[in-house]
Amino acid sequence: MLSATAAMPVIGDSGPLPAYREYLRAIARRDSDAVLEAMTESYGQQLRALRHTQDFGPLFELWCVSQADVPAVSRCHVNGDCATVEARGTGVFSRVHLRWVGGRWRVDAERHQLQA
């Protein structure tokens, strides 16, 4: 599927799938700058607020550990400036919403469900 405008890529290196994969890599690296850059302002609001507290390091580590390990993307649907990525990992199904904001795809919401 191609975007109606060249400014909003939906495939290739700048589409929502690579953006989501980079977000996961940033979490794995424990790179708070990259994680927050990959989030929309509203989705990253709580992490940004904690960033300047004394306990941010341990809290960020705990947040990273709590994120689902989702290695295999099973579906991506793009509708204008919104995209939904569905992914499956060992015992986890994830649905991630991304929005085109500030010239790039950013994670706007995540929902992880444990699977039997």
Determine the structural domain holding residue 94 and report its residue range. 12-114
Rounded to an integer, what distance in angstroms lies between the CA atom of residue 60 and that of residue 91?
23
48 located within any domain: yes
Q: What is the CATH number of the domain that holds 40?
A: 3.10.450.50
pTM of structure: 0.84
Low-confidence ranges of the chain (pLDDT < 70): 1-13, 70
105 located within any domain: yes
Helix (H, G, I), strand (E, B) or coil at 55: coil
Quote the number of domains for the chain: 1
Helix (H, G, I), strand (E, B) or coil at 102: coil
Convert the pLDDT of each residue in 53-82 to its tens digit.
999 999 999 999 888 776 788 889 999 999
CA angle 73, 16, 68 (to 5 degrees): 45
1 located within any domain: no
The per-residue pLDDT for 5 is 41
90 located within any domain: yes
